[in-house]
């Protein structure tokens, strides 16, 4: 058994499991983010500009009770929901490793140039973001409870409860990992599409998922959800989706839409028919050249 056959056998053995993990990642991450947005962030009271300036408007250096205490009380009240939502999102991010690394390994096996950036981003950015975001959620809940139960709830108490080097490091790691996940989605989808492992529509959807993951125009990760569900259906060959030829061939075969293939075949057959008609058409014979004797007679008549 050569390396290509071994690779195809390994891909076939893992395909169903990877598809189910991609589907679970899509559902869990979307559910976690929905809980955060709908149940927590959507109802969380915000501290406005006037609330922040109210001490200065009354001639005080600092407020007796920090205006941000409203947010901290709300977070402390919804601590369980916040931790549960962060946990679901973190599990979804960890499960994201398998479909990304599976597509990356299949792409390299079909002649794609190995990329260390793609390998590192796909393998380490999702779990790093999962751990950092979950730890941050717990830290925020603990800080909110510490601030609410403090005897004095002024600005100094707020900074002591919500600041610190540890939380700053976690925020930095979460930001870097966030960028890494977006880069991994774009690179994996692009490279897999180039060798024919993903259809053009699914590859573009994966790249869009990476862009909108980094720039969340919509608060919910719907594009990422659709991409992961599409990858799962493709690997399971469900929902009217079939594996592109590159999966069975074990080599790069850029994917072409069936409609485009039929149109190209029709254009090719039309050209062949035109060339056949041109070859079968009679070649026109040139008129016979006048003989020298006839030309001499015409010259004598003119003379």
**Is pTM beyond 0.85 here?**
no
**pLDDT, tens digit only, all 303 positions of the chain:** 577 888 889 989 999 999 999 999 999 999 999 998 887 665 555 555 444 555 555 455 555 556 667 777 877 787 888 899 999 999 999 999 999 999 999 999 988 788 889 999 999 999 999 999 999 999 988 888 887 877 776 677 777 777 788 889 999 999 999 999 999 999 999 999 999 999 999 999 999 999 999 988 877 899 999 999 999 999 999 988 889 999 998 888 887 765 555 554 566 565 666 666 656 656 555 565 555 555 555 555 554
Q: Which domain holds residue 36?
A: 3-249
Provide the pLDDT for residue 67: 63
Is residue 277 one of the residues assigned to a domain?
no
Closest CA to 17 of 244, 236, 242, 246: 236
Is residue 37 one of the residues assigned to a domain?
yes
Is residue 255 one of the residues assigned to a domain?
no
Is residue 278 one of the residues assigned to a domain?
no
182 burial via Cβ count (<10 Å: 0-12, 13-18, 19+): buried
Provide the pLDDT for residue 218: 79
Is residue 291 one of the residues assigned to a domain?
no
Provide the pLDDT for residue 115: 84
Tell whether the torsion through CA atoms of 132, 138, 143 and 148 is positive or negative: positive
Domain total of the chain: 1
Taking the C-alpha atoms of residue 49 and residue 41, their distance in angstroms, rounded to an integer, is 19
Cβ pair 154, 75 in contact under 8 A: no
Taking the C-alpha atoms of residue 241 and residue 49, their distance in angstroms, rounded to an integer, is 52
Is residue 260 one of the residues assigned to a domain?
no
């Amino acid at each position: 058994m050569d390396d290509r056959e071994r690779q195809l056998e390994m891909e076939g053995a893992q395909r169903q499991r990877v598809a189910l993990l991609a589907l679970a990642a899509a559902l869990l991450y979307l559910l976690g983010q929905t809980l955060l947005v709908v149940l927590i962030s959507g109802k969380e009271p915000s501290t406005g500009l006037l609330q922040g300036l109210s001490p200065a408007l009354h001639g005080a250096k600092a407020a007796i009770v920090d205006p941000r205490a409203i947010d901290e009380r709300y977070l402390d009240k919804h601590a369980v929901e916040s931790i549960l939502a962060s946990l679901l999102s973190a599990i979804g991010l960890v499960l994201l490793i398998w479909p990304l690394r599976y597509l990356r390994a299949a792409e390299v096996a079909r002649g794609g140039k190995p990329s260390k950036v793609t390998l590192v981003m796909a393998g380490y950015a999702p779990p790093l973001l999962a751990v950092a975001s979950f730890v941050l959620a717990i830290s925020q809940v603990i800080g909110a409870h510490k601030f609410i139960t403090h005897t004095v709830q002024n600005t100094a108490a707020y900074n002591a409860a919500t600041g610190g080097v540890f939380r700053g490091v976690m925020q930095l790691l979460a930001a870097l990992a966030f960028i890494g996940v977006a880069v991994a989605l774009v690179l994996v989808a692009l490279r897999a599409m180039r060798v024919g492992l993903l259809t053009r529509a699914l590859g573009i959807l994966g790249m869009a998922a990476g862009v909108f993951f980094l720039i969340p125009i919509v608060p919910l990760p719907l594009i990422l959800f659709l991409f992961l569900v599409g990858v799962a259906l493709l690997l399971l060959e469900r929902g009217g989706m079939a594996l592109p030829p590159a999966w069975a061939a074990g080599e790069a075969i850029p994917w072409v839409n069936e409609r485009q293939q039929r149109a190209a075949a029709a254009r090719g057959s039309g050209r062949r028919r035109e060339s056949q008609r041109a070859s079968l058409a009679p070649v026109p014979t040139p008129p016979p050249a006048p003989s020298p004797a006839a030309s001499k007679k015409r010259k004598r008549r003119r003379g």
